[in-house]
Amino acid sequence: MSRLILALAFLLAALSSPTLPARAAELSYVARHGKADFLTAHLYPGASIVLAPQHLRENIAALTFDDGPDAANDPEILRILAEHDAVATFFVVGRNAAKHPRLLREIAAAGHEIGNHTYEHVRLITQDPQQQDAALRRTNTLLSAAGVAPRWFRPPFGSYDEHTLSIARANGLETILWTIDSKDYRDIPAAVVEDRVMRDLTPGSVILMHSNHRNTVEALPNILTRAKLAGVRFVTLTEWKALMERATVAQAD
């Protein structure tokens, strides 16, 4: 009898529990593999160009920082980038941007780009299209209020479904992922972050880092110094796209 009562209790608990939203099908190569290669569908999904980094005329890379703005780390990151004459793209979370509009303006004034990283950093495949659209639209509105016109979008965790790319385009955003994952979010030693970036750094690389982790700040000076010695110039994603487009034309010639 006690077993029957226990089984009924479990059944009642299961029936009374709120239903979790179903996940849509994961379409992101990066979400499944951790990083992208240079196939357009993997790195720059939805774009019409054929990526051909082997035809780049110079050794460039795009440094990107997710999950800010971060009041503790971003000012130091900006100082380090300025000292090394490097620019980057910052993918900011809307709820953080709402707290630090002045910092947003400082990032933009220093010549860096600011992209949309949704409002609450939720895995988008757990949200319906209306929720996804609201997350991007709300963040765009916040950025616009700070004088920023975002062009780029990066989905949290690199994850997206069949609706996400078209929703991003409808909000004036291009979706970009990464070819190098520094894994700084794991709070590994700065030297390990540095080695992970430098090991895989090739022309056209897009590097994922996070401005809300201290090891990112500690690793950044050596990354910039070593990259410069290797002849790498860091560019914003908009310049990265322009140079990639030229490389595509060169490939066709």
Q: Report the candidate in 63, 99, 105 with the shortest Cα–Cα distance to residue 211.
A: 63
Q: Which of 42, 112, 210, 213 is catalytic?
A: 210
36, with CB counted inside 10 A (0-12, 13-18, 19+), is buried
- The residues with which 233 forms a beta bridge, in sequence order, are 60
Domains in the chain: ranges and CATH: 26-252 (3.20.20.370)
Q: Which of 66, 74, 133, 161 is catalytic?
A: 66
- The residues with which 234 forms a beta bridge, in sequence order, are 61
Q: What is the pLDDT of residues 125-166, one digit of tens each?
A: 999 999 999 999 999 999 999 999 999 999 999 999 999 999
pLDDT classification of 250: cutoffs 50, 70, 90? confident
**pTM of the full structure:** 0.90
Q: What is the pLDDT of residues 16-69, one digit of tens each?
A: 444 445 678 999 999 999 999 999 999 999 999 999 999 999 999 999 999 999
Is 121 tagged catalytic? Answer: no
Q: What is the pLDDT of residues 119-132, one digit of tens each?
A: 999 999 999 999 99
Is 70 tagged catalytic? Answer: no
